[in-house]
Amino acid sequence: MCHLGFIGKRVLVSARTPNAGARLSVQASLSNIVQKDLRLLKINPKRSLGQNFVTSEKVLQQIVASANIKKGDKILEIGPGLGSLTDCLLHCGASVLAVEKDDVLYKHLQAKFSEEPAVSLIHSDILLLRDIKQILDDFRGGTGESSVRVVANIPYNITSGVLLHC
């Protein structure tokens, strides 16, 4: 299982479980980083987009652990926001196709992952992507042999639509 910790703005995964004191300081650090990034980007979560930002290392750990990410996995992340979960997925060895609707967050993600070849970004509303099957096939490598899994902190107001669309 992956155990997460924040150093600076990058998520690191370690094989050992941090002690309780370290875990508390990590959660505070993640919360502080998210709040700082939101202030710098002048973002207030938009209710219309169902935006919510993960501020708990424990929640990220649960998402990654439940997905059982392995090196080489292909992941579709819907609404990556600030990219905290994206960082975790990358560190576990996954390739990530991230679809972000918000203009400011998309630009932030472009800058953050500009040097990361394992991240592909799409600036769109996932529910409006008419050619999603082709996009996922291309992301898979066109072979149809490997699957693409959805691992995301999906905005709550689109969950049903995503299940029907993807």
Question: How many Å apart are CA 134 and CA 139, to the nearest integer?
Answer: 8
Using the 8-state DSSP alphabet, how is residue 156 labeled? G
On whether 125 is known to bind a ligand per the annotation, the reply is yes
* Alpha carbons 11 and 4: distance in angstroms, whole number: 7
Q: Does the annotation place 73 within a ligand binding site? A: no
Q: Please, are residues 30 and 7 in contact by the beta-carbon 8 Å criterion? A: no
Q: Consult the annotation and say whether 52 binds a ligand.
A: yes
Residue 93 is classified by DSSP as T
Residue 153, annotated ligand binder?
Answer: yes
Q: If phi over 0 gives left and psi between -120 and 50 gives alpha, with beta otherwise, what is residue 93?
A: left
CA distance 50 to 45: 8
Annotated binding site: 52, 54, 79, 100, 125, 153
Annotated binding site for S-adenosyl-L-methionine: 52, 54, 79, 100, 125, 153
